[in-house]
Chain A
Amino acid sequence: MTKIKSLADLKKLKDEVQSKIKLREKGDHPENLVQIKVSMATCGIASGAKETMNYFIETLDNQGVDALVTQTGCMGYCYAEPTIELTIPGKEPVIYGFVDKVKAQEIIDKHVIKNELVDGIIPVNYKTIDD
């Protein structure tokens, strides 16, 4: 029988990850990372925001993009859930609506990697998300 994962093994993994982080020049300072906030209030969750968030975390990691994907409260665009806020280092944040997995992949391929805007941006004169 294979052994169940435990906190003891987590420590081993932690040591590996720690040395990888040290090797990376930029470190994990949020201002150097692509940041994605996924709106995770009732309407977002009911529309699949959780799947969208998992997709971003896994795909960005697989593609080797250093990113910080976090959840945030209601952004107020219930009609366009799931919504995300994407910030490329040094740029203004952009909000995308109706971000399912397909849209998420398009955003990664075009916006995150090539810095081209993708359809589905919600235009806002907006500062920050304040729940």
Chain B
Amino acid sequence: MIELSLHILDVAQNSIRAKAKNLAINIEEQLSNDSYQIEFIDDGSGMSGEQLKKVTDPFFTTRKTRKVGLGIPLLKHTAEQTGGRFEIKSELGKGTRLTASLGLSHIDRPVLGDIAGTLMILANNEFSTEIKYHHKTENGTYIFDTEEIKKSLEDVPLSNPEIQLYLKEMIKENLEQIQISE
């Protein structure tokens, strides 16, 4: 994946497909220990110990349409390639927490890229999973919360193109204020 925002789009789909009511995506940029951490926390179906053992294996998937699952192995690879680490914890019936730490200044770390576009797609997911994006750096924190947005929108759908365009700009402008690295 050429951008972290694409990894995020992909990995977040697992939580949506696991029927999570809430998915938190937390990014933390830390200059002090040169880390770029991405965390996914969901309250979806979770995985058994057996499933969890296999999840970083590219041949494991529960989907029936295709025989290999690549999303998680790809993110794990990116984390490890940049001198970081990767961890996934899950409990059946409770949810899943996945943490990928990347080397912030590592030359192979992809840029975050179009996270606003990713968030718009995720926000319009088919199972109404609420997305809470939390981006923290030494300059401050930005939170994008679909539950809060939907409240402000009342009966206007988030899928409306004008609304989407506005929200994308809003996310970009706010992130520009705090992002340390691209």
A contact residues vs B (CB 8 Å cutoff):
4-7, 9-11, 13-14, 17-18, 21, 28, 40-43, 45-46, 50, 53-54, 57-58, 60-61, 68-76, 78, 130-131
Instruction: Say yes or no: B152 contacts A41, CB within 8 Å.
Output: no
In Å, the complex CA distance between A13 and B79 comes to 40
Given contacts A4-B173, A40-B13, A74-B66, contact A53 B74 (CB under 8 A): no
Cross-interface CB contact of A42 among B74, B153, B155, B160, cutoff 8 Å: B74
Does B164 interact with chain A (Cβ within 8 Å)?
A: yes
Given contacts A10-B149, A45-B9, contact A71 B121 (CB under 8 A): yes
B contact residues, range: 35 or more
- Minimum CB–CB distance for B114 against chain A, Å: 8
What are the residues of chain A within 8 A of B173 when measuring CB–CB? 4-5
> Can you give 15 A-B contacts (C-beta < 8 A)?
A4-B173, A5-B166, A10-B153, A14-B154, A28-B157, A40-B121, A42-B10, A43-B66, A43-B70, A45-B1, A53-B121, A57-B164, A60-B161, A76-B66, A78-B66
Instruction: Say yes or no: A14 contacts B118, CB within 8 Å.
Output: no
What are the residues of chain B within 8 A of A58 when measuring CB–CB? 161, 165
Instruction: Say yes or no: A42 contacts B164, CB within 8 Å.
Output: no
In Å, the complex CA distance between A50 and B7 comes to 12
Instruction: Say yes or no: A57 contacts B152, CB within 8 Å.
Output: no
Given contacts A45-B6, A71-B125, contact A11 B152 (CB under 8 A): yes
In Å, the complex CA distance between A46 and B75 comes to 12
Instruction: Say yes or no: B125 contacts A14, CB within 8 Å.
Output: no
Instruction: Say yes or no: B9 contacts A40, CB within 8 Å.
Output: yes
Given contacts A13-B163, A71-B124, A78-B66, contact A18 B117 (CB under 8 A): no
Chain B: which residue is nearest A68 at the CB level?
B159
Given contacts A61-B161, A71-B124, contact A10 B152 (CB under 8 A): yes
Among all A-B residue pairs, the 7 with the closest Cβ atoms: A76-B65, A61-B161, A5-B170, A42-B70, A4-B173, A42-B71, A74-B65
